[in-house]
Amino acid sequence: KGKLYICPTPIGNLEDITLRVLRILKEVDTIAAEDTRHTINLLRHFDIQKPLTSYHEHNEKNKSQYLLNKLLEGETIALVSDAGMPGISDPGEVLVKACIEHDIPLEILPGATAGILALVASGLPTRRFAFEGFLERDKKKRRERLEKIKLEDRSLIFYEAPHRVIDTLQDMMDIFGDRKAVLARELTKRYEEFIRGSLKEVYQYLQENPPKGEMVLLCEGISLEEEVRREREVFEHLTIKEHIL
Ligand code: SAM
């Protein structure tokens, strides 16, 4: 039986690749990459030559079967995505599940993932957090998701795109009210930036400084006071209803 190695790659700074990831990339039979052109550049930088095969969102199911057969034949495969940890808002989940079902050994290697870096440096509570990844593109669905998590008391981590972040902040202000929020931009890159404040302050900042680059948006979970206030509202609403009845 072969083996699958899940290999994180840098999210902006090539120095962040680990020695172990480099060794595995050199040793495996094949590298399964989200975008082979992107990964070729990375490999070229580290002087690694290896057969590459694509494994992306649109062929994840079929390609998992193909890679699974290779693994069953005894090949070793490294799975990489364009940046950060495979399987985190990136393809990986289907192949990992297939390996587990077929008893194929797998090894997870540590490395950068944008959400965790952003959270730890945000100054928001790190004791408990919830990773939301990308919100739905459709406004109605996005608002439904935010409604569903508005009572969540853990810190919330979202992946965002520059052309959507202002709309998202607007929706969050409507649904969550104002809360502490942080926008982490271009992590590990030259223009890394943290905008710390409230949802409203981050929103105002982006009105004056149009959003650019890769970004993680974080906000605090619901506060105890807000929770009590909302519960009181529901209670008062119920008592009024009872009174009417
Ligand atoms: N697998 C990656 C990880 O482990 O973080 C995430 C891949 S996802 C397709 C890409 C999103 O991650 C971006 O839109 C952005 O929200 C976030 N991201 C990736 N690199 C980043 C960086 N250097 N700074 C801030 N956010 C980043």
pLDDT tens figures, 145-181: 999 999 999 999 999 999 999 999 999 999 999 999 9
b (16+ CB within 10 A) / e for 211-227:
beebbbbbbbbbeeebe
Percent of the chain surpassing pLDDT 90: 88
Residues with CB under 6 Å of ligand 1 are: 11-12, 81, 83-85, 88-90, 113-115, 159-161, 184, 186-189, 214-216
Write down the number of H helices and E strands in the chain: 9, 10
Three-state SS string over 73-105 comes to: CCCEEEEECCCECCCCCCCCHHHHHHHHHCCCC
Strands 76-80 and 52-54 come out as unpaired
CA 225 / ligand 1 centre spacing (Å): 33
Cβ-defined contacts of 138-146 (< 8 Å, 24+):
139/167, 139/171, 142/168, 142/171, 143/171, 143/174, 143/175, 146/171, 146/172, 146/175, 146/176
pLDDT tens figures, 83-133: 999 999 999 999 999 999 999 999 999 999 999 999 999 999 999 999 999
The ipTM of this complex is 0.99
Q: What is the C-alpha to C-alpha distance for residues 76 and 196, in angstroms, rounded to an integer? A: 44
CA 137 / ligand 1 centre spacing (Å): 17
CA 64 / ligand 1 centre spacing (Å): 23
Q: Which atom of ligand 1 is nearest to the CA of 160?
A: 16
38 Cβ contact list (under 8 Å, min separation 6):
82
Q: Name the residue at shortest CA distance from atom 25 of ligand 1.
A: 215
31 Cβ contact list (under 8 Å, min separation 6):
25, 39, 43, 50, 51, 52, 53, 77, 78, 79, 80
CA 85 / ligand 1 centre spacing (Å): 9
pTM of the full predicted structure? 0.94
